[in-house]
Amino acid sequence: MPLSAILPDLSPWRSTRDFRLLWIQGLVTYFGSFMAMVALPLQIKDLTDSPVAVGAMGAVELVPLIVFGLYGGALADAVDRRKVILLTEAALGVLAVVLLVNALLPDPLLWPLYVVAAGVSALAGLQRPALDSLMARIVPHDQLTAAAALNSLRWNVGAIAGPSLAGLVVAYAGHAAAYAITIVGFAVSVLLCTRLSPAPAAHDAEKPSLKGLAEGARYAWSRPVLLGTYAIDMAAMFFAFPNTIFPFLADDLDAEWALGLMYAAGAVGSLLFSLTSGWTSRIRRHGLLVVCGAAGWGLAITAAGRVANIWVVLGCLALAGAGDMASGLGRSTIWNQTIPDELRGRLAGIEVLSYSVGPQLGQVRAGAAAGWTGTRTAVWSGGLACVASVGVLAAALPRLISYDARTDPDAARRRARSQQPPRTDREPEPTAP
C-alpha cells in the first residue's frame, strides 16, 4: 500500500482559504484551552482535596451548555456565523483573565472557578454550532471526511501539547502562568477570526425561536441514523469519561508526575489514528465506524482502570483515544453528509449536546463513583458500562449499522445540492422531507 494512501488527505487545506484559517485558529485555541483545562481542576483539587468538588465542575457546566447550545444552534442559522465565532472567542479570553486575576490573589477563591466554568460552558454552547455548521459550507462535499480528519489532527496536537505543558507549568510556575498562556492563545485566535470570510444567513432566515428549535429536533428525531450517533456518543462519554478524576488516579498509582501525560495520552492515540487516516476517505459504512470506535473506547478505559502500572495505563488511554477518534470521525462525516444547510446550525446545537453533555455528566458520575467505590473502580466499571450500552444501542438502532454513504437517501440529497451552482439570491434550499 503506498504511503499516500495512509497519510492524511490534505485536499481541504489546499482548496479552501477559510478552512486553513479555521484550522490554525483552532490549533491556537485548543492549545490555550487545554492549558486551562488542566489548571482549573488542579486548582480546585488544591483548594478542596475533594474528588466530589472536582466532579462538581460537570454539574455547574451542564445547564449553561444545554440552554446555550440549543440557542447557539438556532443563532447559527439566523446570523453571520463568523460574528458568532469572533465574539464568543473574545468573551472566552475575558474569562481567562478572570481566572488569572483570581489565581494572583493571596488566597484564591473557589467560587469564581465554578462561575468561570459555567461561563465557558455557555460560550462554548453558543460558539460550537456556528463552527460546526460553517465547515459543511466552506468544504466541498467530497472532502468532508478528509476535513474531519484534519480537524481531529489539529485537536490532538493541541490536546497533547496543552496538557503536557500545563502539568509542567502548573508544577513549576503555578496556575497563574497557565492562565496567562491561555489569554495569549485567545488573543491570537481573535486576530485570526477577523480574517475569515463573512458567513451570513439567508436573507429571509427566521430569528432564533422555540419553533425553529422544534423544527430541528423533529428532523433529528425522524432520522434513526442521527439518533444513533447522538445516543452512542452520550452513553460512551457518560459512563467512560474519567478525566476529572485523573489527579486522584495519579495519586493512587503513586505517579503524580504523570498527570499531564494522563491528560495527553488519549490525544496521542487520536493523533496516531489521524496521522494514518488516509484510508478513512474510502470508508462508506460510517455508522459501523461509530459503533466499533465507541466500543473500543470503553474496552480501553476498562483496561486502564484494572492495571496498576502507570505506563500500561497511559498505553490504554492512548488506545481509548484512537477508538474515540474513529467514532468521532464517523459521527462528523454522517452529520455533514446528511443534514441540509438550512438546518445545519440547529442540528449542530443538538450535536453539541450529544458530545458535550455526556462528558459533563460523566465528570459528575466519575467524581461521585470515585468517592463511593474508589478511583480505579470508578474507571473500570464505567468502561464496562460503556461497552454494554453501545451494544444495546447498536442492536436497537440497526439503521446506524447499515448506513452507507453511497445509498443513504439523505446523503444523496446533500451530495446533489452541494454540486449545484451557488445561489446568488441567498435563498434557502427546501428542507429535506
Which of 182, 5, 196, 181 is CA-nearest to residue 86? 196
Least confident of 201-215, 262-276, 346-360: 201-215
Helices first, then strands: H and E counts in the chain: 17, 0
Other Cβ atoms less than 10 A from the Cβ of 385: the count is 19
* Residue for grid cell 472536582: 54
Other Cβ atoms less than 10 A from the Cβ of 11: the count is 17
Residue pair 221/227 in contact by the 8 Å Cβ criterion: yes
Q: How far apart are the first and last CA of the chain?
A: 42
Q: Is the pLDDT of residue 230 over 80?
A: yes
> What nine digits make up the cell of 177?
502562568
Which of 153, 117, 65, 45 is CA-nearest to residue 358? 65
Residue pair 92/120 in contact by the 8 Å Cβ criterion: yes
* Residue for grid cell 481531529: 152
What is the crossing angle of helices 344-373 and 375-396, to 10°? Answer: 140
How far apart CA 386 and CA 205 sit, in angstroms, is 40
Q: What is the pLDDT of residues 334-377, one digit of tens each?
A: 887 888 777 777 777 777 777 677 887 888 888 888 888 888 99
- Pick the more confident residue, 138 or 429: 138
3-state secondary structure of 201: coil
- Pick the more confident residue, 389 or 166: 389
Torsion of CA 185, 191, 197, 200, to 10 degrees: 80
How far apart CA 318 and CA 321 sit, in angstroms, is 5
Q: Is the pLDDT of residue 164 over 50?
A: yes
Q: Is the pLDDT of residue 323 over 50?
A: yes
Secondary structure letter of residue 200 according to DSSP: P
pTM, entire model = 0.69
- Which parts of 207-308 fold into alpha helices (H)? 210-221, 224-239, 246-252, 259-275, 286-306
Q: Is the pLDDT of residue 97 over 70?
A: yes
Residue 115: what residue type? V
Residue pair 426/202 in contact by the 8 Å Cβ criterion: yes
Contacts of 365 (CB under 8 A, 6+ apart): 55, 238, 239, 382
* Residue for grid cell 474508589: 374
Q: What is the pLDDT of residues 363-420, one digit of tens each?
A: 888 888 888 888 899 999 999 999 999 999 999 989 888 888 777 777 777 666 655 5
Kindly provide the b/e burial profile for residues 86-114, where b requires at least 16 CB atoms within 10 angstroms of the residue's own CB: bbbbebbbebbeebbebbeeeebeeebbb
Q: What angle do CA 389, 348, 131 make, to 5 degrees?
A: 125
Q: Is the pLDDT of residue 423 over 50?
A: no
pLDDT at 132: 80
Contacts of 226 (CB under 8 A, 6+ apart): 220, 334, 335, 338, 339, 347
